[in-house]
Structure 1
Amino acid sequence: MTNWLKRLIAGFFVLLLLHGPAIAEEEFEVTDIQVKGLQRISAGTIFNYLPIKVGDFVNDSTVNEAINSLFDTGFFKDIELERDGGVLVVIVSERPSVSSIEINGNKEFDTDILKKAMLQIGFGEGLVYKQAILDKVTQEIRSQYYSRGRYSVEIDTTVTPQQRNRVKVNIDIEEGKTAKIGEVKIVGNEVYSDKRLLAEVQLKPKRGFKKLYFLSKQDQYSKEKLSGDLETLRSFYQDKGFLDFRITSTQVSISSNKKKIFITVHVDEGPIYTVDEIHLRGKFVVPEDELVALVNIRSGDTFSRKEVEATSKAISDRLAAEGYTFANVNPVPDIDKESRTVSFTFFVDPAKRVYVRRISIAGNVVTRDEVIRREMRQMEGGWLSTAKIQRSQVRLQRLS
C-alpha cells in the first residue's frame, strides 16, 4: 500500500472521529431535556411527541426512534439530538407555516371552494408549509380545470418568506378558454344513425346557424357533460328495448393547440328484448290489486327502463301516502337471452311506518300560526303522508 493511500485512510478515520454520532454508543440516563431552535412551536409539543422522558436510559437505537417520531410530525425539516453529560439536547429547525394564501385569476371556481379543497389535501393558512403538498395542490387545481375543458390553464405559485418563520403563498391562475368540441363519433351503432343519437346529447360541435348563438355552450367540453351524455345514450337505448346495451369504451383526445376536443364513443347495441312476465312479491300493506294497477308494463311490451323505474316510483309513492315513507321497491330482472325476453319481479319492502311528532312553523310574520295549522292536512301524531303534505302545501300557497 502506498504512503499517500495510507495517509488518506488515516485522514478518513480522523474525520469519522471528529464528526461521529452526537450520542455515544453506551447507554446513559437522561437527567434533563433541553430544546433549542424553536420559533413558533412550543416546547410542550416536542415533549408530547418525544418518546424519551427524564429518567429513561438512552442509546443509539432510542435516539433514532426519537428522531423518526419527531420527523413524523411534519413540523421540522431538520432534527439533531446531542448529549451534554446527562442532558439530552434536542436541536430542531422548524418548517415555516403558511401565513396567507392569495388566489388570483380564478373565475371558473370560487376562491372559498378552492381553499376548502386545499385543506382536504393538507394545505391551508396556519398549517405547516411543504413544497410537495403545494405541488400536489397545483396539480389538483389543474385537474379540476381540465375536467371543465380548460386545457390551456396556466398556474404559477410564488412563495414569499415572512417574519417569524412564515411564508405567504400566491397562486396565480390564467384560466384560458374552454376547449371546443371538434367532432363526436359514435362507433358500433347500427339501428340508429349518428345524427339521431347526437340529437340526444349535449356535447356536439356547433353547425350552421347555431354558430351565431355565441351564448350556447353545447360545444364546450366538460367531464361532467360527457358523463351525462353517456348516461343519456344508455337511457335512450334501454328505453327502446336494448337491455344489453353497453358503452364499451370512450376516447377523448385534444388537438396540439389545446383548442379542440375529439370524442369517440364505442357502443354495443345488443338485441331488443320484450317483457314476458310481471310479478309482485314482498309484504303488502295496501291491497295487492291496487299495487298491480300501478304497474306500467305488460307482457308483450318492448322493454323500457323508464317504465320499470316509473312502476317502482308509483308503488313507492302509493306506500308513502300511507305513511311508509322509506319503502323500497326493487325490480329484479330475469333475462332469457335465447328468447330475448325479460321477466320482472318487484320486491316490495314497506319498512316501518313513520309518524309525525311535531309540526314547527317559522317565517310567518303576518299570518298567525292557528290560521296556517287550520289549512294543514297533515296532523301531528298521525302517520306521515306525502299526499297530505302536498295538499297542505297547495292550501297554504292559496293563502297568499
Structure 2
Amino acid sequence: MHRLLLLIFVLIFQYSSYADSSFVVDDIRLEGLERIPDGTLLNYLPLKVGDPFEFSQSTYVIQELYKTGFFKDIKLLKDGNTLVVKVLERPAISDITWSGNSDIEDEQLEEILTDIGIVKGRVFNPSALDKIEQGLKQQAYFSRGKYAVKITTQVTDLERNRVSIDIKISEGVIAKIKQVNIVGNTIYSDEVLLSELQLGVPGALDFFTSMDEYAKPKLAADEETLKSYYQDRGYVRFAVESTQVTITPDRKDIYITMNVTEGEKYKVKSVALAGDLKLEEDVLRRLIFIENGDIFSREKMVQGKDFVQRRLGDEGYSFAKVKVMPVIDDETLEVELSYFVVPGKKVYVRRINFSGNFKTNDEVLRREMRLMEGGELSNSKLNRSKIRLQRLAYIEEVNVDKVPVPGTEDLIDININVKERLSGSFNIGAGFSQNQGFVFNLGTTLDNLNGTGEKLSLNLNRDNTGEFYNISFTDPYYTIDGVSRTLSTSFRKRNTAAQNIVNFLQNNYGVNLSYGIPLSEFDRVRLGAGYEVTEIIRGTNTINDQVTEFLSDNGAVADANGDLKADFKGFTLLASYTHDTRNRTVFATQGNSQSILLDMTTPGSDLEWYKITYRNKFYFPVTNSITTLLRTDVAYGDGYGGTKVFPFYERFFAGGLRTVRGYRSNTLGPLNDGVGVAVPAPIGGDIRTVASAELIFPVPLMEKPPNSVRLSVFYDIGNVFLQSQGGFQADELRSAYGVSFVWLAPIGPLRFSYAQPVNSQPGDRQELFQFSIGSFF
C-alpha cells in the first residue's frame, strides 16, 4: 500500500512538474547516490541519452529501479531536456551479530544468511527480516527436529545510512517422537518393521540413542528403508502411500503415521545379459546372485549390477556402465531382468602424479602403487594403492582423482594428493601405570628417514619393573620386491617382584636380524635370527621350588651374596606368517589380522626351547560408526633337546589391560607354593588362552568424535596353564565384562577400563578400574 501511494504521488508530481508530456533526453543527471556507483544505476535505467521520453513511461522506469532493491525512494524530474533521477538509497548492512546458536556452527549460519542476501556491505531490505527467520528455521532447525525454535532480529540505525543486525536465537529442545504407526501392513508385524527404522520410541535399555529425535531426512530415509525391506523380499509394488507427521501445540511431541500398500510377492522369471560383454558370459553371470525362480530381491539385483561393473573395471573398462531393466508382469507376478552392458573404451594410465609429499621422495610413494604408467586402469588396483599409501606411518590422508586427458577417450592421468604426518619425533615424557608404576620414556623415532621410508628408532623406557633400551633400523624395501630388513639390539633389566609374579631378577641383551617377505597383497612371512644372553638371579622373596630346581639343573651357582645365579647364552630363530586385510593399522574398522609366530633357540644353545603364538583380530562394521572386534591370543611353549622344562622366565602371564581386564596384571594362573610368604605369587604358565569381544562405538553426545578416541564395551575371557598341573582346564578360565576408553593423546596413549569379573575364585586379585597413562601398550 505504501509503495502504491508513493507511485501515485510521484506520478501526480511528475505530471504537474512539466506540461510537455514528451521530450528527447539530452542528458541524464543522477542525484542522491552515496555508495552505489553511477554506472550501476545507469545499467538498470531503461533509458539512455537520445531516447524520447513520455510521461506514460514514468511508472515503468520507476518500477525497474525499485526492482533492484537498492532504493527507498525514487523521483523522476525534468530540467529542460535533462532527465533528473533523484533517489534515496536504502541503508547498507554494517554489522551482523548472532547469539544462542549452540547446535549450529557459525560457518553454517553465515552460509544460510549469505544465501538469503544478508551480508556485510550489501544493501539492507526490510523484507529480508522475514527471510532470516524462515531461512534459519527451514534450513537449519526444522530439519533437526527443533520446531520450538524462536528467532528475533533487531535492526539498529547507524550514522552514514548504515544499519546493524542482531539475531537472537532460542533453539529450544528437539521434538521427541512419542509414537510411530504403520497402517496397511498385514504380512510383517509392526514390531518387525519398526525395528528397521531409524526413528522410533526408545526402549528401556536404549541408552545414548537419538532415535526419538525427529528429522525430515531421517523420515525420508525410513520410507526408503521400508521400501527396500519389502522389495528385497519380493514385494515389487510396495509403496508408502502417505506419511502424516503431527506435532503437539507445545511443539515438543511428534506422532508419525505411515500408510503403506504391500502388494503381492513376485518371482524372477528370467535373467539375461545383453550388450557388449567383453568377457565370457559365464564369467559375468557368476557375479549375479539371482536366478530364475528366485524370489525377487532389489538388493541382489543392484548387487549384481555393481559386481559386473566392478569386474569390467578390473579389465580396464573403468567407465563401464551396466543398466538393469526389469520388466514386471502383474498378471503372472513375475519379473524379467535384463542386464545391458555398455563397456566403453578400455582406459589406460598416462601419468601418475603425486603432490603434497614435501618430505617423502616420489619413488617411496610410487612403489606402493599397484598401477603403472602406460598400463590398463584397474579400479580395484587403484583402490588397493590408496589403502597401501594410507597404511604408511608417515601419511595421514590420501585423495585420488582420475582426470581424463583432453582430446582422448582412452587415457587418464591419476593425480594423488597426500597429507604427510610428522615423519620424525623426539619424545620425552613420564606417566603412571598400575602395572608398571612410574614410567619414564625417552626416545627418538624417524619413520621416514630423509624421505626414504626407512625407519630408525632409539628408545629408553624405565619404570618400577626395570629398564629397557632398544635401537632398531628398518628398511621396508631392502629389495625392489618389497622384502624388508630390520636390525635391532636391546638390553632389558627386569625385576619381576614389581610385576606381581614370583620374584627373580633378569638381565637380558641381544641382537637380531630379520627379513619380511611379501607373499601377496595381504600375506607376509618374517624370518629372523639373533644372539641372546640372559642372566637370572633368584630373588629372596616368594622363593619358588620350581625356580630353584630349574636354576640348579641348568648350571646355576651361588654368588658372593649367596644368591643363586645363572647365565644362559644362545642363538634365537624367529619365523612368522601374517595375513592382514585391515583398512588401518591403528584403530581399524574393518578387516582381519591374524598371525602365527614361532620363537625358539637353536639346538646347541644353553637352553633349548620354543614358543608358538597365534593371534587373530577380526573387525567387522555393524554400522558406519559401530564396529565389532573379536580377538584371540593362544600361545604354547616347551623345552626340547636337553632342556626338559620350559624356562620359567619365558612363561606366559594373564590378567590386566592387555589380556583379561578386571584382574590385576599378571596374577591369573598357577601360583607358587607360598613357602615363607603370606600371599602366593603367580608363576605363569606354558599355555595361554585369551579371547575377547568388543563393540566399538563413537563417544556419545559428540557430533564429530575425533579419530584418536575409541570407546567400547567388552567381554574378556582367558587364563594361563601349566602342563605339569594338568594343562588347559576350561573351568579355570576367568572372564569379565566392562567398558574401555582409549585416547591417543599428545602426551602419549591413555587407556582406561572398568570391568566386573564374572567368575572370580577365592584368591583371585580383582582390580575393577585399571588405567595406563603415558606408556605404550
- For normalisation by structure 2, the TM-score amounts to 0.47
Q: How many angstroms does 1:292 deviate by? A: 1.3
For 1:74-113, list aligned pairs within 5 A. 74-113=69-108
Matched, 1:150 2:143: no
- Kindly state the Cα deviation for residue 333 of structure 1 after the two structures are TM-superposed: 1.0
Pick closer, same or farther for the CA change 1:124–1:23 going to 2, 3 Å.
Answer: farther
Question: Equivalent residue for 1:276?
Answer: 269
TM-superposed deviation, 1:17: 9.1
When residues 90 and 209 of structure 1 are mapped into structure 2, their CA distance, relative to the original with a 3 A threshold, is same
Separation in structure 2 between the aligned mates of residue 288 and residue 209 of structure 1, nearest angstrom: 51
| 2:238 alignment partner in structure 1 | 245
Report the Cα distance in structure 2 between the residues aligned to 1:313 and 1:233, rounded to whole angstroms: 22
1:138 matched residue in structure 2: 133
Q: Which residue is equivalent to 1:9?
A: none
Aligned to 1:300: 293
Q: State the match for 2:124 in structure 1.
A: 129
For structure 1, list consecutive stretches of 5 or more residues without a partner in the other structure.
1-15
In the aligned structure 2, how far is the partner of 1:191 from the partner of 1:29? Answer: 81
- Structure number with higher helix proportion: 1
Q: Measured at CA, do residues 367 and 44 of structure 1 come closer, stay the same or move farther in structure 2, by a change above 3 Å?
A: closer
Hey, what does 2:772 align to over in structure 1? none
Q: How does 1:1-400 map to 2 (within 5 A)?
A: 20-144=15-139, 145-210=141-206, 213=207, 215-364=208-357, 367-396=360-389, 400=393
Taking structure 1 as reference, are residues 112 and 394 closer, same or farther at Cα in structure 2, changes over 3 Å only? Answer: closer
Q: CA deviation at 1:370?
A: 1.9
Name the SS for the 1:203 alignment partner. Answer: coil
**SS in structure 1 of the partner of residue 148 of structure 2:** coil
Instruction: State the alpha-carbon separation in 2 of the partners of residues 147 and 173 from structure 1.
Output: 16
2:422 maps to: none
Q: Does the CA-based 8 Å contact 1:39-1:164 persist in structure 2?
A: no
Deviations along 1:37-96, whole A, 9 cap, x unmatched? 222223333333333344444321344443233223221121111122233222111111
Amino acid at match of 2:73: D
**Taking CA–CA contacts closer than 8 Å with sequence separation of 6 or more, which of the two structures ends up with the larger relative contact order?**
1
Alpha-carbon contact 1:202-1:229 (below 8 Å) kept: yes
Contact persistence 1:375–1:396 (CA under 8 A): yes
Of Structure 1 and Structure 2, the greater strand share is in: 2
Whether the 8 Å CA contact 1:358–1:380 is kept in 2: the answer is: yes
Distance 2:20 2:263 in 1: 75
Amino acid at match of 1:141: L
How far residue 399 of structure 1 moved from its aligned partner, in angstroms, is 5.3
Instruction: Sort the Cα spacing of 1:345 and 1:77 in 2 relative to 1 into closer, same or farther, 3 A.
Output: same
1:39–1:165 contact (8 Å) kept in structure 2: no
* Partner Cα distance (1:246, 1:34) in 2: 65
Change in 2 beyond 3 A, CA 1:382/1:17: closer
Q: Tell me how far 1:397 sits from its aligned partner.
A: 5.3
State the Cα distance separating 1:396 from its structure 2 match.
Answer: 4.1
Alpha-carbon distance in 2 for matches of 1:340, 1:92 = 72
SS at match of 1:172: strand
Residues 22, 81 of structure 1: 8 Å contact kept: no
Preserved CA contact (<8 Å) 1:377 1:392: yes
Once the two structures are overlaid, the 10-residue window that deviates more, 71-80 or 112-121, is: 112-121
Once the two structures are superposed, residues 128-164 of structure 1 have per-residue CA deviations (whole angstroms, 9 ceiling, x without a partner) of 2112222123112112312211111000011111122
Kept in 2, the 8 Å contact 1:24–1:60? The answer is no
| 8 Å CA contact 2:349, 2:377 repeated in 1 | yes
1:230-265 Cα deviation digits (max 9, x unpaired) = 111111111111111111110000112211100000
| Residues matched between the structures, number | 382
Give % identity. Answer: 46
Cα distance change, pair 242–24 in 1 and its aligned pair in 2 (3 A): same
Letter in 2 for 1:175: E
How far apart are 1:363 and its partner, in Å?
A: 3.8
Q: Tell me, what secondary structure is at the counterpart of 2:39?
A: helix
Q: Which piece of structure 1 moves more, 364-373 or 129-138?
A: 364-373
Larger Rg: 2
Q: Read off the aligned partner of 1:21 and give its amino acid letter.
A: S
Whole-angstrom CA distance in 2 between matches of 1:17 and 1:120: 39
1:189, 1:128 → 2: CA distance?
A: 55
Question: What does residue 556 of structure 2 align with?
Answer: none
Give 1:307 deviation, angstroms: 0.5
* CA RMSD between the two structures: 2.2
Return closer, same or farther for 1:17/1:366 CA change in 2, 3 Å cut-off: closer
| Whole-angstrom CA distance in 2 between matches of 1:236 and 1:99 | 54
Deviates more, 1:328-337 or 1:369-378: 369-378
Q: Secondary structure at the match of 1:71?
A: helix
TM-aligned CA distance change 1:353 to 1:180, over 3 Å: same
> Is residue 15–residue 55 contact of structure 2 (8 Å, CA) maintained in 1?
no
Question: CA 1:23/1:51 → structure 2, altered by over 3 Å: closer, same or farther?
Answer: farther
CA distance in structure 2 between the aligned counterparts of 1:266 and 1:227, rounded to whole angstroms: 14
User: Match of 1:105, as an amino acid?
Assistant: G
CA distance in structure 2 between the aligned counterparts of 1:323 and 1:179, rounded to whole angstroms = 51
> For the residues of structure 2 that align with 1:273 and 1:54, how far apart are their CA atoms?
75
Quote the Cα distance in structure 2 between the aligned partners of 1:399 and 1:72: 59
Distance 2:146 2:392 in 1: 49
Q: Distance in 1 between matches of 2:134 and 2:117?
A: 14
Q: Which amino acid aligns with 2:376?
A: W
* Mapped contact 1:322–1:385 kept (Cα < 8 A): yes
Task: Give per-residue Cα distances to partners, 1:273-318, cap 9 Å, x unaligned.
Answer: 1111110011112222211111110111111111101100100000
Change (3 A) 1:28 1:399: closer
Alpha-carbon offset, residue 393 of structure 1: 3.7
1:278 partner letter:
V
Match for 2:138: what amino acid?
Answer: S
Going from structure 1 to structure 2, the CA distance change for 1:337 and 1:37 (only over 3 Å counts) comes to same
Q: Aligned with 1:125: secondary structure?
A: coil
What CA distance in whole angstroms lies between the structure 1 residues aligned with 2:359 and 2:75? 72
Whether the aligned pair in 1 keeps the contact of 2:144 and 2:215 (CA below 8 Å) is yes
Q: 1:371 to 1:45 in 2, by over 3 A?
A: closer
Give the Cα–Cα distance (whole angstroms) in 2 for the partners of residues 112 and 19 of structure 1: 48
